[in-house]
Amino acid sequence: MVTFKIKYLFLLILIPLVFAQLNLIEITPQRTELSPGEVYQTEIVLNNPITELKNINIKLYSLDEIPIPVSPFLSQLDTNYYFLYFEIPFSTEEGIYQLKIEDQSFLVNGALEEFEGIENITITKSQPSVSITPGHFLLPLNDAGQISITTESKDISTNIFFLTPEYMTHPYITEQSINPHVPRTFTFDYNTSNATKSELIINTGSKQFKIPIFIEGQTEQNDTQEPPQSPQGEAITFFVDNFHLSKTISFDQSIEGNLYMSNNLNISLEGLNSEFTGNLIDIISISPSTFEVSQNSNFSSFMSINPSKNAEAGTYSGELIISNNQYSSSLKITIVVEEELTTEPSTEIEVIESPVEETIEESNEPAELFVPWNLSEGYEEEAKVAASPFMYLIVIFLAISIIIFLLSGKKTTKKKSFSQLVSESQKK
């Protein structure tokens, strides 16, 4: 009995010490389950440390203590407050791994001791695997500028959708496609007047990635922000700016894409139905209209606005209601269809005539515009060269003809012998 009391007393003394040691290094990851190629992100707080945290103190191991090569990016946000991110090598096998913060010195009960922090990471191969860098931002307060993120799909082509804080603007209002192994960079404008810590959220439909945005002077430790909630704190969050979907289109224009949502509850939602109020049913369709959603998960539905491209001009408004027997959430939607753009008809008739069909007699233009009497210099020389032999033949032919003509005009005389000539001379 005495032995038991001693052991019990020993445990009572030991347990607080253990918990004290565990709290010396606080690791708060964004996600603990990742796919190969994705980026691991975590906040780290050191309580009463003697030494600062450095990259050399950060290691990733398999359960059998085999080191996994990673390139950690470490930022000190405040005193003893850090943010760490690194990419999981794409060749990493499925399994459980350990992030270790090693060789950190602390002052415990007046003595200098070294401790390590450990956080488990589960690697599972699930598509799409998307790498997003950087893993966080630290922005100055009351400042305006730009930030950029680089995304890369590690396996398949996929579409991503952005949800940004109110102080941030961007042109990516529709889904953006990223191709496998082709990095794509996106740029966002910000104005941090009266801004607080927030997140830039990237949805793929089946996965959600968050990039913390810290504001200088507001980097309090463990100041985590809850995911965006609907104004009424509804069970389902619609990832739409200001929780109001508003679009302006022309009568012959069609818009389609995924509407991203999130189940905020710790229970699965079954038998959910989608329906539109007002006159939205005349211009919007959604698929699927009936579905189930697991607990604390993201999901999406495919929405098409004016799929027939024949909407009448006017305003279409109402709500999209997602509900079952227990829960109901709604999203306000306004679609403005513009009038058909028309131009004043011209009073003049433009006639285009083909020059090929126009004759010289019918035209008032000089004949040289239709018949190339004047050859270009090159063609003229070629013509001269080709004509020279024929000119020589013509001259020769004419000379021969003249000679023949002259000869044919002379009288022919008969030749006489010498004796005849002598006889004729004696007679005279």
Residue 353 lies in a domain: no
Residue 152's domain is classified under what CATH number? 2.60.40.10
d(CA 167, CA 226): 17
Residue 365 lies in a domain: no
Residue 258 lies in a domain: yes
- Single residue among 279, 310, 338 that ends a domain in this structure: 338
Q: Does residue 112 share a domain with residue 57?
A: yes
Q: Does residue 154 share a domain with residue 83?
A: no
Q: Does residue 213 share a domain with residue 139?
A: yes
Q: Does residue 55 share a domain with residue 136?
A: no
- How many separate domains does the chain show? 3
Residue 110 lies in a domain: yes
Residue 327 lies in a domain: yes
- Digit-by-digit pLDDT tens for the chain (428 residues) are 444 444 444 444 443 444 334 478 999 999 999 999 999 999 999 988 888 899 999 999 999 999 999 999 999 998 899 999 999 999 999 999 999 999 888 877 777 888 899 999 999 999 999 999 999 999 999 999 999 999 999 999 999 999 898 899 999 988 899 999 999 999 999 999 988 889 999 988 778 899 999 999 876 654 444 444 444 457 888 877 667 888 888 888 888 877 888 888 878 888 888 989 988 989 998 888 888 888 777 778 888 898 888 888 889 988 898 988 888 888 889 999 987 644 444 333 333 333 333 333 444 444 333 334 343 344 444 444 444 555 556 667 676 767 766 665 544 444 455 555 555 555 55
Classify burial at 309, counting beta carbons within 10 Å of its beta carbon; exposed 0-12, middle 13-18, buried 19 or more: exposed
Proportion of the chain in helix, strand, coil states, percent, rounded to 5: 20, 40, 40
Domain that holds residue 313: 236-338
Question: 323 is written with which tokens?
Answer: 């509900």
Residue 345 lies in a domain: no
pTM over 0.75: no
Beta bridge mates, 196: none
Tokens 């279409």 sit at which residue?
A: 316
Q: What is the pLDDT of residue 29?
A: 93
Could you count the other beta carbons within 10 Å of the beta carbon of residue 176? 16
Q: Does residue 272 share a domain with residue 187?
A: no
**Which residue type occupies 142?**
N
Q: Is 83 left (phi over 0), alpha (psi -120 to 50) or beta?
A: beta
